[in-house]
């Protein structure tokens, strides 16, 4: 029996098996760099494309990049530009792609993964899938019930059932939460229908499931002043709430009491990220195009005009320059965009 099992060194494995191990796991670019530095097995080329790749790890990083959804959505010219920007280092390219992928405001700390978002007088914190709030609110955005209008320290919010919260977005008077299951909960002032519930008689004092999105799993939410955007796993965008400036993207200024899918965005491909300002919204598609709609105050929509856009309109400046946008962030009256080469652009 003793002969059936033996310890062996990883150096004894054939290079193609090592390569499969490197590319089939969930290794980060940093993990790959550490492996390359600590073992000649990973740092050598093993005769595999010696002129093109520096090491087996470099080859693995290039394969992981090719399989990455953000990289796959880029044109060939944009991919080459990104590689050149990273000095031909595939690990740097992979690190950039993974950083963009995880740029949902979640940060790694010694105490675990955290995300912080703020309203006017309150703060919400995700720590290891639980949500905490502090501050003041009369409209229920703290999420602790009608009897709680102030929290002097971070206090955990209780959900109807055991919930692993992966993302939160908050505005002045309401908040939205995405669970690992894809379900969305909201709380706060629903007088403008921004929480996605038809009941507007009183605030939503505790997180409540958005019934209209049952069976429609989401991966991101974004809270505007009096409206909310929901990004589904399928890449569709739903909106609800106040629509004074066309910020819901449906081609009119009618308010929506429950989330409704934006039809024009379904026709342009999968949306990978959304962001909301007070009265406008942005959507980034997988092919790097940015669409904006809502209030055009202070040129924040990026079209060189200040009038409102009632439905999604592509920002042509990026298209003309061949810029592939991967992420956007919306301020009160300005927009910041990150492109595939790591450059940042500003619209205001």
**pLDDT tier for residue 103 given thresholds of 50, 70 and 90:** low
Residue 152 pLDDT greater than 90, yes or no: yes
Instruction: Give the residue, 101 or 126, on which the prediction is more confident.
Output: 126
Beta-sheet strand order (sheet of 184-188): 165-170, 174-179, 184-188, 204-209
Q: What is the pLDDT of residue 8?
A: 58
Q: What is the pLDDT of residue 52?
A: 74
Residue 91 pLDDT greater than 60, yes or no: yes
At 83 the three-state DSSP class reads helix
Which residue segments constitute the domains of the chain, with CATH numbers given? 10-102 (no CATH), 109-347 (2.130.10.30)
Rounded to an integer, the average pLDDT of 279-307 is: 94
Task: Supply 110's token pair.
Answer: 């010694």
Q: What value, to the nearest 5°, has the Cα angle with vertex 139 and ends 134 and 145?
A: 65
Answer positive or negative: Cα dihedral of 249, 252, 254, 259. negative
318-336 pLDDT tens trace: 988 889 999 999 999 899 9
> Tokens 């796993």 label which residue?
233
Rounded to an integer, the average pLDDT of 114-143 is: 91
- Share above pLDDT 90 across residues of the chain, in percent, rounded to a whole number: 61
- Residue 72 has a CB neighbour count (10 Å cut-off) of 11
Rounded to an integer, the average pLDDT of 80-102 is: 88
Q: What is the pLDDT of residue 29?
A: 86
Residue 182 pLDDT greater than 70, yes or no: yes
- Strand 256-261 to 271-276 pairing: unpaired
Of the listed ranges 95-99, 111-115, 280-284, the one predicted with least confidence: 111-115
Q: What is the pLDDT of residue 11?
A: 64
Rounded to an integer, the average pLDDT of 239-253 is: 97
Instruction: Give the separation between CA 144 and CA 124, rounded to whole angstroms.
Output: 12
Q: What is the pLDDT of residue 140?
A: 92
**pLDDT tier for residue 341 given thresholds of 50, 70 and 90:** confident
Whether the Cβ atoms of residue 192 and residue 226 lie closer than 8 Å to each other? yes
Q: Where are the alpha helices (DSSP H) in 76-232?
A: 76-85, 90-101
H-helix or E-strand containing 19?
A: helix 15-24
Instruction: Give the separation between CA 18 and CA 39, rounded to whole angstroms.
Output: 12
Task: Supply 345's token pair.
Answer: 């652009």
Q: What is the pLDDT of residue 23?
A: 79
Q: What is the pLDDT of residue 104?
A: 60
Instruction: Give the separation between CA 121 and CA 135, rounded to whole angstroms.
Output: 6
Whether the Cβ atoms of residue 288 and residue 325 lie closer than 8 Å to each other? yes
Q: What is the pLDDT of residue 249?
A: 97
Write down the mean pLDDT value for the chain.
88
216-226 pLDDT tens trace: 999 999 999 99
Q: What is the pLDDT of residue 129?
A: 87
Instruction: Give the residue, 347 or 154, on which the prediction is more confident.
Output: 154
Highest mean pLDDT among 12-21, 53-62, 280-289: 280-289
Instruction: Give the residue, 128 or 110, on which the prediction is more confident.
Output: 128
Residue 85 pLDDT greater than 70, yes or no: yes
Rounded to an integer, the average pLDDT of 90-114 is: 78
**pLDDT tier for residue 98 given thresholds of 50, 70 and 90:** confident
Task: Supply 169's token pair.
Answer: 């977005």
Rg (CA), the chain: 23
Task: Supply 341's token pair.
Answer: 């080469």
Instruction: Give the separation between CA 87 and CA 105, rounded to whole angstroms.
Output: 28
Which residue, 279, 291, 173, 172, is CA-closest to 231? 291
DSSP 49: S
Task: Supply 63's token pair.
Answer: 């394969």
Residue 186 pLDDT greater than 80, yes or no: yes
| Global pTM value | 0.84
Instruction: Give the residue, 284 or 40, on which the prediction is more confident.
Output: 284
Task: Supply 266's token pair.
Answer: 């379904």
């Amino acid at each position: 029996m003793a002969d059936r099992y033996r310890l062996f060194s990883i150096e004894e494995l054939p290079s193609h098996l090592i390569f499969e191990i490197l590319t089939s796991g969930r290794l980060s670019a940093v993990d790959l760099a550490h492996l390359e530095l600590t073992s000649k097995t990973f740092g050598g080329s093993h005769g595999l494309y010696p002129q093109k790749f520096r090491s087996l790890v470099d080859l693995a990083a290039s394969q992981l990049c090719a399989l990455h959804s953000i990289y796959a959505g880029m044109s060939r010219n944009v991919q080459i530009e990104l590689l050149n920007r990273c000095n031909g280092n595939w690990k740097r390219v992979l690190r950039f792609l993974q950083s963009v992928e995880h740029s949902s405001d979640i940060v790694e700390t010694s105490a675990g993964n955290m995300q912080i978002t703020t309203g006017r007088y309150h703060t919400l914190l995700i720590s290891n899938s639980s949500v905490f709030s502090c501050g003041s609110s009369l409209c229920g955005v703290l999420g602790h019930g009608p009897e709680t209008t102030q929290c002097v320290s971070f206090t955990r919010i209780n959900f109807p059932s055991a919930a692993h919260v992966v993302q939160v977005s908050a505005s002045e008077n309401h908040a939205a939460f995405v669970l690992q299951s894809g379900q969305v909960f909201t709380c706060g002032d629903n007088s403008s229908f921004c929480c996605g519930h038809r009941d507007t008689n009183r605030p939503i004092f505790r997180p409540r499931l958005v019934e209209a999105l049952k069976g429609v799993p989401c991966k991101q939410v974004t809270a505007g002043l009096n409206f909310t955007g929901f990004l589904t796993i399928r890449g569709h965008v739903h909106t609800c709430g106040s629509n004074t400036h066309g910020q819901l993207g449906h081609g009119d200024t009618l308010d929506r009491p429950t989330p409704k899918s934006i039809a024009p965005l379904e026709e342009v491909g999968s949306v990978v990220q959304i962001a909301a300002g007070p009265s406008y919204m942005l959507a980034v598609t997988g092919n790097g195009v940015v669409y904006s709609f809502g209030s055009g105050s202070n040129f924040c929509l990026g079209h060189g005009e200040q009038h409102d856009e009632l439905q999604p309109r592509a920002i042509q400046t990026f298209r003309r320059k061949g810029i592939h946008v991967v992420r956007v962030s919306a301020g009160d009256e300005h927009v910041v965009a990150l492109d595939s080469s790591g450059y940042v652009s500003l619209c205001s």
